[in-house]
A and B are shown apart, each in its own frame.
Chain A
Amino acid sequence: MSMLPPPTLAPPPTNSYMCPYCRLDGPATGTSCVHCGAPVDIRASVSQSGWESQPAIKDMARIQFGQSTCQISGLYVPAAELRLAPGEGVYFSHHQLLWADTTVQLGNQPLKGAWNRKMAGLDMVMMEATGPGSLALADNTPGETIVVPLMPGRAVDVREHRFVMASLNVGYDWYQSGLWYTTRNGDETETHYPAGMFLDRFSATDRPGMLMLHGHGNVFTRDLAEGQSFLMHPGAFLWKDWTVTMTMHMEHPASGGWFGSWQPATPWMRLTGPGRIAVSSKYERMEGTGRVVNSSPCTSVDWNNQQRMAQMAAVQGAYSASKIDDAPFEAALDSFATAQGFVPGKDKNRGISVAHEYQHPAGILVTAGVSDKSGITSVANSALSGLGGMLGGNTAVSGRLNKLMGSLQQGPKADGDPVEGFGFPATWKQVGPGEGTLTVLKDNRVLSVNVRASIPPNDQYAWARAFALAGLTGI
């Protein structure tokens, strides 16, 4: 009798579903998450840069909070219809109220520091509605209504005037956003609050709660790792985890010329993780900022400086690429000089040119140098173009610079008497009594030998020639 394999047991049915948007477990039934209303039957939509589109809550989707329910209806400016159980309630900003049953108790909610906020120009009246009964709330801008369920210990910061409502067990506080900058235009000074003067903070302490926001346009979220930062248009900011910090960041666009830094700066908001952030796609255009004279803690980038740094890096790159491998040259010279009774002296190494000194007890000083003519040319060219870019239209200065660079590009002057016998073009120039320079051009390198001594010129020439021959083998 053959043994049948034991029956394969199917895995136990999973009755829970973790919503990718609110990240809470809920029953795996229905077509939307019971905590945040996000549809469960769609695929996550994530952009290549990592922004995840927050899906719109489906028309007529229901969300449970406590014994009460919330139903979202409409597409363009959705309304949130709340059916409040007896004793349960929500609070909301008074201008969000769309309709209410006569059985719902409506009243003010005390708001700590409301007077300061009013003085700052923001009229914020919190109303409280207590069940039983139904009421509906709606924002006044086309966009997406989203629900952020808050588990105990979680707090989120929300842009002012994006709050629709929260359950009564959600704590509410507000604080100054700390993001500001001051501009001056003539005698007029103005302080701007690009992400709003205040931020609303909602937190759940001992029990879970529900927070509803309205994003203008479409809403996208992303996670920031610890220390990861992101630049965002301050107007687009919608909400963030309280662990995410924010500072100002200013960028001065590159405009060329010496006065590029005077261009109006572009203000950004720098958000630094860890935590989740959300943006909305419809936002106010920022006004022309004028000249920024002060700001809250701020990082900045001046793209004019960046341009200059890039130009200087190009000069340095060309400079270091043209360094001469001096070792064989120096060894050949040292060997020759030592054999002739010379003592090696100081070396001068300038990257694109090197020089070696040799002294003889008879009072002869020989300086043998080699420079890279092609290296000088490329360094001069890149420096000229880099500086020329910075100078812009300043023709007087750039003209002088051109002359300077032109002379640099020519390298050591070889305008003495021609000398035969090297196999390369060479000249000898008497610089003064007892002093002369032999210049030999081999490929793109110039070997110049200076001789200073109280001996007859012909001998100087002989020493210079000998050094040149010794050095030519090395370069």
Chain B
Amino acid sequence: MERIVCSWCQGQSDPGRTACEVCGAPLDVAALVTDSGWREAPRLKDMAEFNFGSSTCQVEGEIVPVAELSLGQGDSIYFEHHVLLWKEETVPITAMNTSSRSFGGMPFVVTVAQGPGRVAVSRDAPGEMVVLPLHPQMEIDVREHAFLAASSSVGYSFVRIKGLANVLHGGSGMYMDRFITQGGPGLLLLHGNGNVFERTLAAGEKIMLEPGAFLFKDSSVQMNVTQIPVKISMLRKSMYLAEMVGPGRVGIQSMYVHHGSD
């Protein structure tokens, strides 16, 4: 029996399904791609449902969407502690050790919720939920404080952005979250402010981004800071943009805080 392939996550679903079983993207809507090749993240329908491991995730709401996760026995997810919207009383939670990052000045507590049971997570800004099912051996870098939740099969680390210029002018903060899968697949949920667009860069292809708009990228994509001769204030005679160099995917969000307009 021929199965339907999702154009967003490449996951396969049974015929007759209107939403992808793996990422919840609508299967009955054509992908929206701009003339220059930016693809809109799939607009998840209210109450869209998809599976990961022995758990399910249902997306509720469209303006500030909520991910309601029904965790199977033995499954667990992790998230930043303040995105927890509600939980069932029986779901145990523990804290992941990220002490070295707290020294960076950011209060950063990653919380783990263990199945069975239900929890719900959401960010607090209008935007879109980006569902990124990760195949084995994938590495994705995410803007800090943009990740909503990830299944525990996804390895979590954070990379300090290299180069003082990148930290000072990059506008992406000091760290990037890095999510890695080893032998098995995993699920990563992000929250993009405003609307989210994705584009795949060919090897060596470059695009310049407003650093505040950067949301995620394949770790194969290089992020550099590039200087543009645009005088933006009395003292600053240039403006900085993030230069992304392929190969790989780049995701951006349309609502962001512009850096460096001081």
Q: A residues within 8 Å of B by Cβ? A: 59-60, 62, 69, 71, 73-79, 81, 83, 94-95, 97-102, 106-108, 118, 123, 125, 127, 134, 136, 138-142
Q: Nearest-CB distance from B33 to chain A (Å)?
A: 8
| 10 A–B contacts from the bound complex (CB under 8 Å) | A73-B40, A74-B254, A78-B254, A94-B232, A108-B231, A118-B233, A125-B230, A125-B232, A136-B36, A142-B255
Please state if A140 and B209 are interface contacts (CB–CB under 8 Å): no
Chain B hits for A97, CB < 8 A? 210, 241
The interface residues of chain A lying within 8 Å CB-to-CB of B261 are 94-95, 123, 125
Q: Which residues of B are in contact with A by a Cβ distance under 8 Å?
A: 32, 34-36, 38, 40, 43, 63, 126-128, 193-195, 197, 206-210, 213, 228-234, 239, 241, 252, 254-258, 261
| Bound CA span A60–B228, Å | 29
Which residues on B sit within 8 Å (CB–CB) of A83?
A: 35-36
Residues of chain A lying within 8 A (CB to CB) of residue B127: 76
A125 vs B239: C-alpha distance in the bound complex, in angstroms? 11
Residue in chain B with minimal CB distance to A75: B195
Q: How far is the CA of A142 from the CA of B126 in the complex (A)?
A: 7
Please indicate the chain B residues that have their CB under 8 angstroms from the CB of A79 in the complex. Answer: 195, 197, 254
The residue in chain A whose Cβ has the minimal distance to the Cβ of B232 is A125
Tell me whether B35 and A134 are in contact (CB under 8 A).
yes
Given contacts A76-B195, A81-B38, A123-B232, 7 further A-B pairs with CB under 8 A are A74-B197, A78-B254, A83-B36, A95-B258, A98-B254, A123-B233, A138-B254
Cβ of A98 and Cβ of B195 under 8 Å apart?
no
Tell me which residues across on chain B come within 8 A of A127, comparing CB atoms: 230
- CB-based contact A74/B228 at 8 Å: no
Q: Which residues of A contact B38 (CB under 8 A)?
A: 73, 81, 136
Residues of A within 8 A of B213 (CB): 98-99, 138
Q: How far is the CB of B244 from chain A (nearest CB, A)?
A: 9
Residue in contact with B233 in the complex, picked from A59, A69, A125, CB distance below 8 Å:
A125
Contacting pair A76 B34 (CB below 8 A)? no
Please tell me if the beta carbons of A99 and B210 are within 8 angstroms of each other in the complex.
yes
Contact A69:B255 (CB < 8 A) given known A77-B193, A94-B261, A101-B207: no
Residues on A with beta carbons closer than 8 Å to the beta carbon of B195: 73-79
Instruction: For residue B71, give the distance in angstroms from its CB to the closest CB of chain A.
Output: 29
Enumerate the 8 nearest inter-chain pairs by beta-carbon distance, A residue then B residue, closest first.
A77-B194, A74-B195, A95-B258, A77-B255, A138-B254, A77-B254, A134-B36, A142-B126
Return B207 CB to nearest CB of chain A, in Å: 6
CB distance from A158 to the nearest CB of B (A): 19
Residues of chain B contacted by A81 (CB below 8 angstroms)? 34-36, 38
CA distance A94 to B194 in the complex (A): 19
Closest to A59 in B: B32
Q: Chain A: which residue is nearest B126 at the CB level?
A: A142
Q: Tell whether A71 pairs with B40 under 8 Å between CB atoms, given A125-B233, A138-B194.
A: no
Nearest-Cβ distance from residue B228 to partner chain A, whole angstroms: 5
**Would you give the shortest CB distance from B253 to chain A, in whole angstroms?**
8
The distance in angstroms between the C-alpha atoms of A284 and B23, with both chains bound, is 38
Which residues does chain A contribute within 8 Å of B126, judged by CB atoms? Answer: 76-77, 142
Closest to B261 in A: A95
How many angstroms between the C-alpha atoms of A214 and B93 in the bound complex? 43
Q: Chain A: which residue is nearest B243 at the CB level? A: A102
Q: Are B241 and A100 in contact (CB under 8 A)?
A: yes
B48 CB, min distance to chain A CBs, angstroms: 16
- With a cutoff of 8 Å between Cβ atoms, the chain A residues found around residue B35 in the complex are 62, 69, 71, 81, 83, 134
> In whole angstroms, how far apart are the Cα atoms of A76 and B126 in the complex?
7
The distance from the CB of A213 to the nearest CB of chain B, in whole angstroms, is 16
Residues of B within 8 Å of A125, CB to CB, are 230-233, 261
In the bound complex, what is the Cα–Cα distance between A74 and B255 (angstroms)? 11
Residues of A within 8 A of B239 (CB): 94
Instruction: List chain B residues, Cβ under 8 A from A141.
Output: 255
Q: Which residue of chain A lies nearest to B226 when distances are taken between CB atoms in the complex?
A: A102
In the bound complex, residues from chain B placing their C-beta under 8 Å from that of A77 are: 126, 193-195, 254-255
With a 10 A CB-CB cut-off, give which of B32, B195, B252 has the most chain A CB atoms.
B195
Measured CB to CB, the nearest residue on chain B to A101 is B207
Contacts of A107 in B (CB 8 A): 229-230
Chain A residues positioned under 8 Å from B255 (CB to CB): 76-77, 138-142
Q: How far is the CB of B254 from chain A (nearest CB, A)?
A: 4
A71 proximity list for chain B (CB < 8 A): 34-35
In the complex, what's the smallest C-beta–C-beta distance from B239 to chain A, in angstroms?
6
Q: Tell me, rounded to whole Å, the shortest Cβ–Cβ distance linking B152 to chain A.
A: 31
